[in-house]
Amino acid sequence: MTAAEFIGQPPPQATPEAEVAPPAHIALINGRPHQSDPKGRWIPQEMIQPAHLLEDEAVRKVVAFALELQAQIARFRDHTIDDIASVKEMLAQEHGTTVGGEKGNITLTTFDGLLKVSVKIADLTVFGPELQLAKTKVTECLRTWSEGADAKLVAVVENAFQVDQAGQINRANLLYLTRLNIEEPLWKEAMALIRAAERPMGTKEYVQIHRKARIGARWEHVAIDMSAVA
């Protein structure tokens, strides 16, 4: 089309922009943005205090980055396990034997000795209802020893049955009790119950990464908690 032919023609129509959908936590009700409160009620945004909206936005931004970082760590863990498995397979083929400790633990290092990656296989255990019976018997022992019991022993015993923030019993603390040389029959019954309460629940792989700043320096742990990601 020449300039002469173009003159007098209507202007080209602009392509309308696609409507942008609101974020998932915002609902358009009668054309007005609403957000849910903790009771599930949809509140118009103009009725929410600006400070609360600012807090809401900041939290959602931080959590979004955290979830993406968690996903990256999960992918990194999977790649790390695959890479180490490839090295183990190659070494096994080369030497005609299984590489790693009795459980499959293995540590790989760089040629200069400044970096290392370790994979450790830990047993997962839970404790059955026998543990509560053991605690009852141990408590009875402490009650009968109340006057002559060593204060340190009482503290160790009480600590052994404490649970952490995740509601888990410290296995090492419990097994320490079973190694104490106490000849009291009730105590022995309690220790037998502790051993009977332990039930294996499989294994879990833990990856640890360390580095040295220079030759002769101490190992520094590269803190990435890969065991906690799904």
**What does 171-191 look like in DSSP terms, one character per residue?**
HHHHHHHHTS----HHHHHHH
d(CA 130, CA 137): 11
Greater model confidence, 229 or 182: 182
d(CA 101, CA 203): 15
Percent of the chain with pLDDT over 70: 83
**Average pLDDT, stretch 185-200?**
91
Confidence check: pLDDT of 47 > 90: yes
pLDDT band for 115, please (50, 70, 90 cuts): very high
Confidence check: pLDDT of 67 > 80: yes
**Average pLDDT, stretch 10-14?**
45
Look over the chain and give the mean of its residue pLDDT values, rounded to a whole number.
83
- What is the reported pLDDT for 230? 58
Percent of the chain with pLDDT over 90: 37
Greater model confidence, 154 or 77: 77
- What is the reported pLDDT for 4? 40
Burial of 64 (0-12, 13-18, 19+ CB in 10 A): exposed
pLDDT band for 88, please (50, 70, 90 cuts): confident
